[in-house]
Amino acid sequence: MTGAGVTIEAPAPAPASRAPGVIFIFKKALISALVALVLFSLMIGIRTEAGPEGQLIWWTRFGDLAAMVAIVFGGSIVMELLRQWWGPVGTIRVIPPSVHGALALARRGIAPVLLIFTFLVPVIFYNQRYILDLGILVLTYVMLGWGLNVVVGLAGLLDLGYVAFYAVGAYSYALLATNFGLSFWICLPLAGILAALWGVMLGFPVLRLRGDYLAIVTLAFGEIIRLVITNWQSLTGGPNGVSGIPRPTFFGIPLTPGPDGLAAKLGIEFSPTHRIVFLFYIILLLALLTNWVTIRLRRLPIGRAWEALREDEVACRALGINITTTKLTAFATGAMFGGFAGAFFATRQGFISPESFTFQESALVLAIVVLGGMGSQLGVALAALIMIGGFELFRGLEQYRMLVFGVAMVLLMIWRPRGLIGHRAPTVFLRHSQAISSDLVKEGHG
């Protein structure tokens, strides 16, 4: 590592200094391959499976093992070459001002373009059910990302159990609707309020915790909610979940083919796509509501208190900001949006089970927020698009999906720990706004 650093930092590597580089790269690749050989020798070289009589049988897969080791060897060489070409991680690259100006223009222009495009998606892709479904999925995650962004990005409280509020919202709507026949539009605010209450309930005990401890407690909280849902069979149906969740109506008019349906009332031919488009606009409006509320809140004292809390909790307390209310409102606001998204999820699926609310879901939403640059609304939306789109690309490789996701998360943290749009503009400023690259900002201990 140190040897590499020396060769890399030389401004223009002369051929003389390249020669030991080749040996170095080769040696490094050889070591990597050896390590890989040992690591994979048993895990890949041998495959075990429970046989017909319950006892384990095994067979060898030395071909796969050799292939993996070769991949590691080749990959190591490529990585090292790339590193020599690209320079060490963390180098601040000087961007020419013209490019910078173009980038700033693109950054300003991308949000409205994206918004208009999103509004037009159901029109453009009306006949492509798959794209509409994918759009709904992406928007759900955009909403979840924006919701979690309030907690993680603005208030700086690392929440690993966000899926709990999603679950609370989904189950609130599902149970209220199936047991009491309440409509989606009544349940939606109720789901949000209930989730917010749970947010406060989680928030109260963890007020004193920070950083990693907070993360692990929220994780435990998320798991507790999931375990209770799984085991409280009489209420939630346990692992079988809740089915037959009613669809949302358009001001009381259902989107069904019958004579009472919206299509019949409007005098147009019924098509199942209407419902999909309707759902698409519901989640789009919900997401935009989340975004709008967040942007407005950031201009209120409470939003500024959140940002101050993120930067330095001790200083916040010294300045007389009430830490308790600040943290609790952050948790409650984030949880409320999670609850809305959960209610929407329940009504879209028509069926929910605890399997939808695992830790992986929390990690995915958190990854979206981090990839989006923690605090940037546009970044989160783009990150959700990239992540969910990327997930869809790997749909064919079902079992490799989470593996790829994990690798992506590690690589992302190594290369861009501040997210793709690593940029944090302060909301409050003296005389003129000055954008600070978030690479330069030191995180508080929130």
Partner 1 sequence: MDYFAQQLINGIVLGSIYGLIAIGYTMVYGIVGMINFAHGDIFMIGGFIALISFLILVSIGLTVVPVILLIVLLVSMAITALYGWTVERIAYRPLRHSFRLAPMLSAIGMSFVLSNFSQVAQGARVKPVPPIITGGYTLFEGDGFAVRLSNVQIVVVITTVVLLLIFSWLVSRTRLGRDMRACEQDQTMAALLGVDVDRTISMTFVIGAALAAVAGMMYLLYYGLVDFFMGFVAGIKAFTAAVLGGIGSLPGAMLGGLAIGLIETLWSAYFSVEYKDVAAFSILIIVLIFMPTGLLGRPEVEKV
Mark the segment that binds partner 1 (CB under 8 A) among 282-290, 339-347, 366-374, 429-437: 366-374
Site string for partner 1, 310-329 (x = CB under 8 A): --x-xx--------------
Q: How many residues bind partner 1 (CB under 8 A)?
A: 65
Only one of the segments 20-28, 222-230, 244-252, 297-305 lies at the binding site for partner 1 (rule: CB under 8 A); that segment is: 222-230
| Beta-strand runs (E) in 212-338 | 242-243
Q: How far is the CB of 117 from partner 1 (least distance, A)?
A: 30
Binding test (CB under 8 A) with partner 1, winner from 62, 213, 292, 429: 213
If the CB atoms of residues 98 and 399 are measured against partner 1, the closer one turns out to be 399
Long-range contacts of 285-293 (CB under 8 A, 24+ apart): 286/143, 286/340, 286/341, 286/344, 287/139, 287/142, 287/143, 287/146, 289/340, 290/143, 290/146, 290/147, 290/337, 290/340, 291/146, 291/377, 293/333, 293/337
User: SS3 for 64?
Assistant: helix
Q: Residue 435 Cβ, how far from partner 1 at the closest point, in Å?
A: 18
Mark residues 173-212: x for contact with partner 1 by CB under 8 A, - for none: --------------------------------xx-xx-xx
Hey, what amino acid is at 50?
A
**Which single residue is written with the structure tokens 């390249």?**
18
Distance of CA 85 to the CA centre of its chain: 31
Residue 221 half-sphere exposure toward CB, CA atoms < 13 A: 27
Dihedral of CA 272/277/282/287: which sign? Answer: positive
d(CA 11, CA 13): 6
Q: Does 41 bind partner 1 (CB under 8 A)?
A: yes
Q: 156 — phi, psi (to 5°)?
A: 70, 25
CB closer to partner 1, 27 vs 445: 445
User: For residues 74-93, which are near partner 1 according to CB under 8 A?
Assistant: 89
Nearer to partner 1, 182 or 209 (CB): 209
Alpha helices (runs of H) in 44-87, residue ranges in sequence order: 62-86
Q: Which residues contact 291 (CB under 8 A, 6 or more apart)?
A: 146, 377
Q: Which stretch binds partner 1 (CB under 8 A): 105-113, 243-251, 334-342, 396-404?
A: 396-404
Each residue 406-435 as x (binds partner 1 by CB under 8 A) or -, in order, gives xxxxx-xxx--xx-----------------
* Interface positions with partner 1 (CB under 8 A): 35, 38-44, 46-50, 54-56, 58, 89, 158, 160, 205-206, 208-209, 211-213, 215-217, 219-221, 223-224, 227-228, 231, 312, 314-315, 359-360, 363, 366-367, 370, 399-400, 402-403, 405-410, 412-414, 417-418, 442-443, 445
